[in-house]
Amino acid sequence: MKNALVYKLLLVLTISTLLFSCNKTDYGSSSRATGWKYNSKDGGFQVNTNYKEQETGPGLAFIEGGTFTMGRVQDDVMHDWNNTPNQQHVQSFYMDETEVTNIMYLEYLDWLKRVYPPTEPKYKNIYHGALPDTLVWRNRLGFNEMMTNNYLRHPAYMQYPVVGVNWIQAVEFSNWRTNRTNERILEEERVIKENAPFEDVSAESTFDTETYLNAPSQTYGGNDEATRGGRASEQYEKRNDSTGLYIQRKDGLLLPKYRLPTEVEWEYAALALVELRSYNIYRGRKKYPWDGQYTRSGKRRTRGDQLANFKQSDGDYGGIAGWSDDGADITAPVGTYEANDYGLYDMAGNVAEWVADVYRPIVDDEYNDFNYYRGNVYTKNAINPDGTVKIVTTDSIIYDTLSNGKIVARVLPGGILQTPVDENETYLRTNFTQSDNRNFRDGDKSSSRYYEGFQDSSIPNRRMYNSPVHSVEPNEEDSTKLDRRYDESSKRSTIVSEEVRVYKGGSWKDRAYWLDPAQRRFFPQDMSTDYIGFRNAMSRVGEKAKNKKTPKHNKPTN
């Protein structure tokens, strides 16, 4: 009897397995197009069939994308009319849990100083161009020299958000962070030589992620021993004759770029509406990154405590001594206040933060409501006459002279030189027609109210946004000096231009009005302050969610 029961169970299991096998397609072993096996030792197509999902980069938190109402729904008491409500959809991405701190930025400066010694004249501007402006703390009627001298480098401020960093410097830090993170991944996977990031790095020999992916033999200045000197190199050599010698994008090992978040991403992450969801409807509207309409905690243990670092009133930056309202007068250590529902700290107060977007008074949701971003300047890799990508060398470093005269390096040795896209990429396209799209539908022919046939955006008095144009040029008699010329025209009507960027969130210097994530302000991209910092974001590749959702009607009940 017992044997008969076992036999029946085995029969049912066998039939179920066969039925399941017939209905389930195996995507991992062979091609559905040709039937050829993937990753065969005999040759053929080599692909990573074991890829699970994107690893979360250092310092980041996962933000699942979705739809939300961007813009201010409270009273617009400032009458800016620059953040009217509109519905947007954001793809999933990652965001720094905290603002970039002084110690994180000092690590960047230390690396630059070691690799490009500022004592050598040809590298001097690389290090000095990356230095934060510590003079932002000075006030003509304030005693702030202690912050000027100590805020960036003193260990007491190591975990405080870095300030005095302009938008361009924040972008360059993000690029450096990308390269160091991916370099570490390759070392941990034993692809590159052990300790190559320290022993084999110099001004002529550096690691750049895009260079490694596009011209891997030029990484570390062409030092093949460093690029393929890891213990795992043998298994990669066996995969394919030539392409298997290096990690490629299709291997899924290297992370996407660290970058500044777009304005829509930042606002979506700050609101953190994830816990206010009922099916596909949001229950109410949050005014701040935390629940409720007030800046003080209503919880029993912390009742009355301020939930962010901001200016309460005239002359009140921190409260009464011994009974501080928010625990800080200037900035506070990151993570001092409670995180929002995405696990992000200081999305209101402490310091305001740069985002990627060029500022315009409107968000053109009629044209696009998916991953909205104003600031696209499309480029492509520069190509040598022999067809190889053009790598920047120590003799061809790209520098920019900013409007304030500061010189910054935009492409470091080892990186790939970029050029604007041309007719080869734009001819007969419908989705874009030019390289620079910062002014799209906002001053060009299709959107300018008083369009003139001879309008030229490069001529100041023929631009829709007639902003000042300051100039900094080398002195004709002494090329080591700069002539700075202010735009003294009385006909300028705005300070909005292609070089002003959005910054979001209130700061230690702002009133509660600016803590609303919907608020948007702008500042020149090559200038810095003592109240604007930044945090990084990273795009997510693959599925929208990390965990599959279970419909509520299918969830088990207790």
Domain harbouring 89, CATH code:
3.90.1580.10
Look at residue 191 and tell me if it is in a domain.
no
Whether the CB-CB separation of 62 and 540 falls below 8 Å is answered with yes
Q: What is the pLDDT at residue 464?
A: 64
- Rounded to whole angstroms, how far apart are CA atoms 403 and 329? 32
Write out the H or E segment, with its range, that includes residue 228: none
Greater model confidence, 443 or 89: 89
Look at residue 119 and tell me if it is in a domain.
yes
Look at residue 402 and tell me if it is in a domain.
no
Total of domains in the chain: 1
Domain membership of residue 302 as a residue range: 57-178+254-375+504-545
Write out the H or E segment, with its range, that includes residue 185: helix 167-188
Q: What is the pLDDT at residue 221?
A: 94
Whether the CB-CB separation of 291 and 278 falls below 8 Å is answered with no
What are 314-361's pLDDT values in tens digits? 998 888 887 767 889 999 999 999 999 999 999 999 999 999 999 998
- Rounded to whole angstroms, how far apart are CA atoms 155 and 160? 10
Read off the tokens for 209. 């992620």
Q: What is the pLDDT at residue 555?
A: 52
Model pTM score: 0.89
What are 354-387's pLDDT values in tens digits? 999 999 988 999 999 999 999 999 999 999 999 9
Look at residue 14 and tell me if it is in a domain.
no
Look at residue 72 and tell me if it is in a domain.
yes
Q: What is the pLDDT at residue 398?
A: 87
Look at residue 435 and tell me if it is in a domain.
no
- Backbone phi, then psi, for 115, in 5-degree steps? -85, -40
In terms of C-beta distances under 8 Å and separation of at least 24 residues, what long-range contacts does 476-483 make, across chains too? Answer: 482/401, 482/405
Look at residue 185 and tell me if it is in a domain.
no
- Rounded to whole angstroms, how far apart are CA atoms 304 and 175? 41
**How many other CB atoms are there within 10 angstroms of residue 50's CB atom?**
8
**∠ CA 204-210-213 to the nearest 5 degrees?**
105
Q: Which of 33-47, 143-157, 245-259 has the highest mean pLDDT?
A: 143-157
Q: What is the pLDDT at residue 457?
A: 54
Whether the CB-CB separation of 378 and 437 falls below 8 Å is answered with yes
Q: How would residue 454 be classed by pLDDT, with cut points 50, 70 and 90?
A: very low
Look at residue 110 and tell me if it is in a domain.
yes
